[in-house]
Amino acid sequence: MPFPVMQIAAAGCVSKDSPKPKSWTVAKVQALFDLPFNDLLYQAQQVHRAHFDANSVQRSTLLSVKTGGCSEDCGYCSQAARHHTGLEKESLLEIDEVVAAAQAAKEKGASRFCMGAAWRGPKDKDLDQVSEMIRAVKALGLETCVTLGMLKDGQAEKLKDAGLDYYNHNLDTAPEFYGNIVTTHSQADRFDTLNKVRAAGIHVCCGGIVGMGETRAGRAGLIAELANLDPPPESVPINNLVPVPGTPLASASPIDPFEFVRTIAAARISMPNSLVRLSAGRQEMSDELQALCFLAGANSIFYGDKLLTTGNPEAGRDEKLFERLGLNAV
């Protein structure tokens, strides 16, 4: 028997015209995780259909414009200088290389082009070069996104002036687990950058990583933090850890696939207006697991052969999957 609408509302979901709930407690999000799997997906699918076309998926392409040599110690990252991953430090790409990659992404069907640089935060001279990249990519008719690390005062405004649409800066994990993953900066530093981005009028792309040894309560804590941002992020990338040899998390045990789907569903229910993106780790997912994620409310993917330094499904595989599922790329 279908659930009545009032039961969905009790779980914290809102209609298009309702105000955002005052808060999502960890307990409330964990209650979603604890639902029977079918009941959770039923609620997530109802919320998804109330706010989006259930068969449309937004596609973004991510390019590393400056690879390696980062001074931070994020335990999952292949680009940290202190981790021995065999990744060589590279200089910032030339603008012509970035434009060529963006044009190729557009021709393959991406609507947003994301540029990532392995920095603690950009220097002003670097920001000037990235701003030129943003202008050039915008001229191709693509949405733009960058992830450059922590921003200083005035830098978000420069990016806004260049035409930046989205800034990516993930919370990574729940606050109580954060110190197990990163020690060279705090999660409060990340909130500071997010506040600068919002104040500059740039859309926020902010999510996290699961499968780093956190508990279910930790996953619920991450989703609660994201949902309680005011407003919630316009894009919420959910990454499934790709263990990289040479990093502290190289031997991390993989998350149960159904638990990953539950995380997607909890994100969809608690952030009904956000794009929920399947991000890192998708190359290791079966078509069947991805289909469950789309059923749970994921409606965005990274599209292309690589995500910064880790692999991603080939575009041809995605095309076939979309055709099999009757999904439309937007």
CB 193 within 8 A of CB 234: no
Question: Residue 272 gets which letter from DSSP?
Answer: T
Alpha carbon separation from 184 to 66, 225, 245, 286 (Å, rounded): 20, 21, 21, 35
CB 168 within 8 A of CB 206: yes
- Residues comprising the chain, all counted: 330
Distance between CA atoms of 8 and 260, rounded to whole angstroms? 21
| Known catalytic residue at 13 | no
Set 13, 74, 206, 293: catalytic member: 74
Q: Can you spell out the DSSP letters for 72-126? A: ---TT-TTBTTS-S-PPP-PPPPHHHHHHHHHHHHHTT-SEEEEEE--SS--HHH
Set 13, 59, 77, 190: catalytic member: 77
| Known catalytic residue at 70 | yes
Question: Residue 38 gets which letter from DSSP?
Answer: H
Q: Can you spell out the DSSP letters for 207-237? A: -EEE-SS--HHHHHHHHHHHHTSSSPPSEEE
Set 59, 262, 277, 282: catalytic member: 277
Distance between CA atoms of 270 and 44, rounded to whole angstroms? 9
Set 13, 59, 70, 112: catalytic member: 70
Set 13, 59, 112, 114: catalytic member: 114
Set 205, 262, 268, 282: catalytic member: 205
Give Cα 89 distance to the centre of its chain.
Answer: 24
| Known catalytic residue at 205 | yes
| Known catalytic residue at 293 | no
Set 59, 112, 145, 262: catalytic member: 145
**321 burial class (0-12, 13-18, 19+ CB within 10 angstroms)?**
middle
Question: Containing H/E element for 47?
Answer: helix 37-51
Residues with catalytic function:
70, 74, 77, 114, 145, 205, 277
